[in-house]
Amino acid sequence: MSDKKEPRIGVYVCHCGGNISGAVQCELVAKALKGLPNVTVTRTDESMCSDAGQSLIEQDIKELGIDRVVIGACAPMLHEQTFRGAVTRAGLNPFLYHHVGLREQDSWVHEHNKDAATEKALRLMSAGIAKARLLEPLDPIRLGAEKHALVIGGGVAGLRAALDIARQGLRVTLLEKSPFLGGRMAQLESVFPTEEDARKLLQDLIQKVVAHPNVTIFTQAEVTGVSGYVGNFEIQVQQHSRGVSDDNADTLMSACRQEVPNPFNYGLTKRKVIYRPYEGCYPSTPAVDWESYNGEPISFDGKQIILKDEPKSFGLNVGAVVVATGFDPYTPSQGEYGFGELPQVVTLPQLIRHLALSKDGKSLQWNGRAVRDVALIHCVGSRQVDGVHQPQEDGQVNNYCSRVCCTASLHATLELHKRYPQLNIYDLHQDIRTYGHGHEEYYRHALESGVRFVRYNGEEVPEVSAAPQGDSHPVLLKVKDMLTYGEELEIPVDLVVLAVGFMPRDLHGLDKMLKISRGNDRFLLEVHPKLRPVETAVNGVILAGTAQGPMNIQESLSAASAAAAKVASLLGRGKVELPPFVAAVDEEKCDGTGACVEACQYEDAIALQEFEENGRKVRRAVITPANCSGCGACVAVCPNNAINVQGWTLEQYEAMVDAIGMDMHELEVAA
Amino acid sequence: MTQSQQPKILILGTLSGGYAGADSTGQSHLEYPPNTYILPVMSPVMFPPEFYIRSFERGIDGIIVMYSGTDSPYKVEAEGTAKLINSAYALMKERGIDIRRLRLAAICTVCVKPFLKEVNQMNDLLKGIGFVKDELIARASAMEAAHG
């Protein structure tokens, strides 16, 4: 005979101030449920989440010996934690409580059918009670945590995240793959909507990060291996040599003859393979571009020196990882809007660098020729349409909006107008999406400045071709203008600027090492944009900035601060507490088939181990809770039902299904 | 007709997909048939094919698995769930259960219209094909007849 104590269940039906009781006859539900097995008490209350409502539950636990609690109320997302708190305060394990959503999923969607809403509440609550009978006390997973975070990426998001984490008293190691900090923001001159100097803002941030005693920075450094779990990740890092030192850098740079297209200026200029990307960069010591260096000897002090990269490897032990790896601007394919075929077709990032490089002059020059007419085309590489645009490598088009390019284009347009007022500017767009605070002003100013807006249809994109010989302009644009009911326009221009979108970066296996997922758009995926923003499905791996999708600088900074707050709350106490909803093995049922190990996609979450029992060797699955995501892929494949996700077991679901499927008269009889 | 006399629809809604989508629908106060019962799940990849069969045998007439599809935070959810549902279809066929009674749908947290569409479609289907118990009885009778 089992000595297991029969559960004593307390059932509470909330009126939610009329929100539930307006459709559900709560008293009737409570009365009917009272007769179900193991239900000790049922109560209704105007507002269970109020102090009085919570006290009622606490009192029943203490005075009536209630050891399972079922509450029918608003969505669990809103008050599950509130009631867990109440249950805990009364001395009960917080996981011996089950929440049933009776508002969003019943009373609010069946307002005009009260009998049906009441019957549905009865069935849903019965299902909750059926689950509650099978609940077991659970303990959160508690792990020691290194008070040390790793931030991958030294762009504006990584820098902000590093500084915010450091200010919370945690140690931070910042890794940057390139030799210099700053990322994409360093390539900008001014930022919208404040029109501040981008470089100055960035330098202020870099100075604060560099000066903070809690931050250690490694440039030219990449992650080569990851193991462990939240609170205790072991990270392998490889750092390349800088190649030159402060003592010899400038001499070697002058003597170096090898030049390559300068990626900082998107190939518009050339630079040496020993380089600083811009004046005032950090670190100020030049670095060798090892990918481009051809091994040619360089004269120094009467000798011929061959530069050598001698990478060093080291390990880090960190509690959390912030991925701030940024984005790449979309590179149009050969011939897309004439790109790569017509020298007068450039991208918006190229135009921004071109404007930065040509501060003087009364007219905009391109390829030694004055530009009189310029056209910007929006949505290049964004909002692509199947069958119209060339798919990306994975066979899909970029159907997402890159969000930033509309304001960025208008920002550039106004800069062009300010510097070259005589310039004729055409803006070809699908829609203008100036969604941010102060962004619509750019559109208004552009209209007032005489910029001519043409609206094209995404399925009939503008055509860009070389103008016929002898034309006054080198390029001819053909576009159907939806603002004039499809009028076909021909616009001769000297320069075409493609407002390219954001592309997810090739992370060279970093995402695989960290076991984080990508979404349909190939950007890194957060668990949920509203419920768990910036978190990935891997505990302790947090996202910051444009690695997870198109964002402007303001949004990247907000995301970075959110990531830092998440890290600080995770590691601040030196230990982490995770929900207990992970797989657990029933030792009596497990006979070591290994099906679970095969089904699991999470490294080191589950393994087969050999044990000696009564003189014979047995194999069983063993879970490492910190590495388990709780998805349950192992549950479905176990032939012995020997594995379950704690708090969400198959048996509990079966019991809930039985309660839902039960004939109504069974409940009525019980009542 | 009370709800007991209506076919029952079970919705297995993921916390990061269908369950939250149902909450969004509720926040919009958009009505749908009340014979729908939504259970929250972490990921439907935990349900073996036999779970669906058992549910049909226990009086559930239609099941919609509302997950996050390829946007799931769990690595194996999309592919794994589709495989399990396919296996469930095979078992359903063996038992004479109309496979349209089980649907897999990608529903996001704010997918109000797709949520309503799925629920209404399943409800309309069940109005047409009726209770699962009738299919199970017909199958049992046929088997009995076949075995003399």
Of A106, A127, A636, the CB nearest to B48: A636
Largest CA distance in chain A: 103
**pTM for this predicted structure:** 0.74
Q: Name which residue leads in pLDDT, A354 or A4.
A: A354
Buried/exposed code over A178-199 (b: 16+ C-beta within 10 A; e: otherwise): bbbbbbbbbbbebbbbeeeebb
Per CATH, the architecture of A580-646 is what? 2-Layer Sandwich (3.30)
**Residue whose token pair is 């001698």:** A310
Structure tokens at B25: 């629908």
**A127, B55: Cβ pair inside 8 Å?**
no
Per-residue pLDDT of chain B (148 residues; tens, 9 = 90+): 455 678 999 999 998 889 988 998 998 899 999 999 999 999 999 999 999 999 999 999 999 999 988 777 676 778 899 999 999 999 999 999 999 999 999 998 778 899 999 999 999 999 999 999 999 999 989 888 888 6
What pLDDT is attached to residue A665?
66
Write out chain A residues lying below 8 Å of B48, CB-based.
635-637, 650
Q: State the average pLDDT over residues A554-563.
A: 98
Q: What is the pLDDT of residue A14?
A: 97
Residues A383-432 have pLDDT tens digits of 999 888 989 887 889 999 999 999 999 999 999 999 999 999 999 999 99
Q: Is the dihedral of CA A296, A302, A308, A311 positive or negative?
A: negative
CB within 8 Å of A295: residues ≥ 6 apart: A306
Residue A76 to residue B8, Cβ atoms within 8 A? no
Query: Which B residues, 1 through 60, put their C-beta within 8 Å of a C-beta on chain A?
Result: 2-4, 8, 10, 15-16, 20, 22-23, 25-27, 29-32, 34-43, 45-48, 51, 54-55, 58-60
The answer, for B79 touching chain A at a CB cutoff of 8 Å, is: no
Specify the pLDDT at position A84: 95
Average pLDDT for residues A147-174, to the nearest whole number? 98
| A230-268 confidence digits (pLDDT tens) | 899 999 999 999 999 999 999 999 999 999 999 999 999
Say if the ipTM goes beyond 0.85: yes
- Rounded to the nearest angstrom, the minimum Cα separation between A120 and chain B is 7
| Tens-digit pLDDT profile for residues A457-470 | 999 999 999 999 99
Nearest to B3 among A119, A602, A635 (CB): A119
Give residue-wise pLDDT tens across range A180-223. Answer: 999 999 999 999 999 999 999 999 999 999 999 999 999 999 99
Does residue B131 sit at the A interface (CB-CB below 8 Å)? no
Listed in sequence order, the DSSP H helices in A572-612 are 595-599
Structural domains present in chain B: 3-146 (3.40.50)
% of chain A beyond a pLDDT of 90:
85
Kindly state the tokens that stand for A668. Answer: 């009525």
How many angstroms away from the CA of B108 is the closest CA of chain A? 10
> What pLDDT is recorded for position B2?
58
pLDDT category, A671, cuts 50, 70, 90?
A: very low
From A43's Cα to the closest Cα of chain B, the distance in A is: 23
Note the pLDDT of residue A393. Answer: 83
Contacts of residue A263, Cβ cutoff 8 Å, sequence gap at least 6 = none
Average pLDDT over residues A132-147: 94
Say which CATH class A1-138 falls into. alpha beta
Q: How do the domains of chain A map onto residue ranges?
A: 1-138, 148-240+311-326+505-575, 249-305, 333-503, 580-646
A to B CB pairs, distance under 8 Å: 164
In this structure, whether the domain defined by A333-503 belongs to CATH 3.40.50.300 is answered with no
List, in sequence order, every beta strand (DSSP E) within A341-486.
345-347, 365-366, 369-370, 373-380, 424-429, 452-455, 463-466, 475-481
The pLDDT assigned to B3 comes to 58
More confident site: B69 or A310:
A310
Q: Which residues pair with A628 in a beta bridge?
A: none
pLDDT band at A1 (very low <50, low <70, confident <90, very high): very low
Average pLDDT, chain A: 94
Q: Which CATH class is domain A148-240+311-326+505-575?
A: alpha beta
For A407, residues 6+ apart whose C-beta sits below 8 A from its C-beta are A192, A193, A434, A436, A439, A442, A552
